[in-house]
Amino acid sequence: MGSKNKLKRFLENETFKNVIQPKRQDLENGTVVLKGNWANHFKNDNPIVLELGCGKGEYTVGLAKRNPNKNFIGIDIKGARFWRGAKTALEDELTNVAFLRTQIELVDTLFAENEVSEIWITFPDPQIKYKRTKHRMTNQNFLNKYKQILKPKGLMHLKTDSEFMHGYTLGLLHGLGLEVLYANHDIYKNEGSPKEVLEIQTFYENQYLEKGKPITYIQFRVH
């Protein structure tokens, strides 16, 4: 994507009522208070579902269309990517969609205890090198952050093309004694995955499928 195109999307994001772009400093010092106030943003008390590292926002928008009685928030630091999802949501008049431009590690400053019902992690960077372990979105530190904001029995979903990420996460969940509800190492070959796991495909997922890579999925709880 060219720099001019990126700039155009950044500027357009600033005009979108469904895009929120807080500054990290404001979140850390508490001058922007989103935490605990998402019902006010959506003007209802419907369950909140997050897509972390939402990319172009395909899951955020796809799930919102299927579940009008839930609110969906896509989170990513790359605003030029989720511009597409935000624009589509506005074009389709989806009032249960928001996009939040921020770092994933700040998620516990953005949501209060028990404020989130469900979290999707779709095709994250597996951060395979050992020194990058702290950046894996299912490491123990991140799982503890998710536990802080999720309701008891709240669902977690990991969908990835990375067999490494799939195996790492399963091993960690079992080691921590957390509940794995379902795991599939090749969702399009082995039956049993939820419909939304099969029916909603991201831009990157389609690229992986063209290369013949298996897509994996885990549904689990951190409480």
Active site residues: 125
Q: Is 140 left (phi over 0), alpha (psi -120 to 50) or beta?
A: alpha
Question: Cβ-count burial of 108 within 10 angstroms (0-12 exposed, 13-18 middle, 19+ buried)?
Answer: middle
Burial 3-41 (b: 16+ CB within 10 A, else e): eeeeeebeeebeebebbbebeeeebeeeebebbeebeee
Asked if 79 contacts 13 with a C-beta cutoff of 8 angstroms, the reply is: yes
Give every CB contact of residue 75 below 8 A, 6+ residues apart in sequence. 50, 51, 52, 53, 54, 99, 100, 101, 102, 104, 107, 110
Asked if 123 contacts 197 with a C-beta cutoff of 8 angstroms, the reply is: no
DSSP string, 179-199: -EEEEES-TTTSS---HHHHH
Q: Is the dihedral of CA 169, 220, 102, 13 positive or negative?
A: positive
